Amino acid sequence: MWLFLGITFSLGMLIPGNLSLKLQYDRDQVFHVVPETFQQVQHLQHLCSTSLLDLWKPQLPEDIRAGEDLHIRVPAPLVQEVKDSLDHHMISYKVLIPDVQELVDQSMPKERNSHRQVPEHYVYTQYHPMEEIYQWMTQIQKNNSELVTQHYLGKTVENRTMYYLQISQPSDKTKKIIWMDCGIHAREWISPAFCQWFVKEILQNYKSDPKISRFLQNLDLYVLPVLNIDGYIYSWEKDRLWRKNRSHMNGTCYGTDLNRNFNSSWGSIGVSYNCSSEIFCGSGPESEPETRAVAQFIERRKSDILCYLTIHSYGQYILTPYGSTTKPPSNSEELMHVAKKAAAALMGKYGTSYEVGPTSLILYYNSGSSRDWAHKIGIPFSYTFELRDKGNHGFLLPSYQIQPTCEETMLAVTTIIDYVDQKYFPGGAVMLTSGSLGLSLCLSVVLTWTVS
């Protein structure tokens, strides 16, 4: 019975939508469970393996451990049976989300109109579908042409174009690069929302904020607002909780987890070879066009890239390499030092607490992640951000939390960028234009004449 019901209901209920079927999650619940004994761990692993319950944290049944948080989405028809089973095994739990569909509905924008598509009126405190993000990118470049350029990166499985934004102050010298990508996992909507917020804040404040104006003298910012475009669109149109890309595997299932698909200990740990799994690692390293597009670009520019930032949700972590091993990278102390500074800056805004450390030690093992790959090819600073919250809303963070989440994350990210800038460009940059060069020469002549 567990298996039958799990297969039938584990992905939500299908109802007619606009020209398609859209998954609904009415009365699905998310449980928070902390197993205390080995026997309880075994029972939970069995439940999650045989009934196809939707594990939100961790992502594999074998990663369930005594004393550690477990978040499970339980389809409505199974809620009472799961509760009875937990009670029978004396496993305490609480309901984090009593109705998943209510949170899905709350995350959707209340209205759609043409004004929102113009950056002057763009609502950064709402989530935006991909069509509007494309339009936003075009307008951001048009309205800030002295600073912003939009560049082709590659194509997705479904042949959509991937663009990144380059924010660069004009300069004769070759500058170093900070890379940031968002939206590698489709359902983590707060991630693309942050990339958009980040771009907005840089453009609004680079003239008045001394930290931003200083690091832009030395560093170009490359921002990929949505890496997993096909999956993101699917999460808007069909299934709000879709995670992977939309590659079609053997006619039986869809999607590869792009953050298990990079060529860094690929397929070795914390992945699945089952294409139905949320953490299916693909048919091989960089098997997916989205992964290849990012990897090939970064490989070409890796000598110039000083920092790789990838934005996810949820859990409130700043994660350092590595996920596939507990062996620390050579610069682990500095990576931790900078991450702790970033977490402290973030906490200073609203008191939000972030945990800092290597993925394999503070979260779970995984392989094929973009963060680990970036560090292993020689990018010295590489971090994963897992944004709000700790599970009360999970992947369904309400839109009223976009602003505070982005404000505090902005402080953390600019702390990291500022550290990188100060490390590689100590004493600030010397940016002499022809005009300033002429003025400095005149002053030098005057001062020399005066002194003599």
- Positions marked active-site: 386
**CB contact at 8 A, 232 and 130:** yes
Tokens of 361: 């030690």
**CB contact at 8 A, 213 and 343:** no
Q: Output the CA torsion sign for 330, 182, 234, 404.
A: positive
**CB contact at 8 A, 214 and 429:** yes
Phi–psi pair at 419, nearest 5 degrees: -60, -45
Q: Which residue has the tokens 């149109």?
A: 237
Residue of 319, 296, 317 lying closest to 391 (CA atoms): 317
**CB contact at 8 A, 116 and 132:** yes
Q: How far is CA 160 from the centre of its chain?
A: 20
Tokens of 53: 């319950």
Cα distances from 366 to residues 191, 279, 358, 370, 417, in angstroms, run: 20, 9, 11, 11, 26
Q: How far apart are CA 242 and CA 255, in angstroms?
A: 9
Sorted by sequence, the CB contacts under 8 Å of residue 70 that are 6+ apart come out as: 31, 32, 33, 34, 35, 44, 55, 57, 58, 64
| Amino acid identity at 413 | V
By three-state DSSP, how is residue 324 classified? Answer: coil
Cα distances from 392 to residues 32, 72, 155, 315, in angstroms, run: 9, 12, 35, 10
Gyration radius of the chain's alpha carbons: 23
Scored b (16 or more CB within 10 A) or e, 112-137 reads eeeebbebeebebebbbebebbbbbb
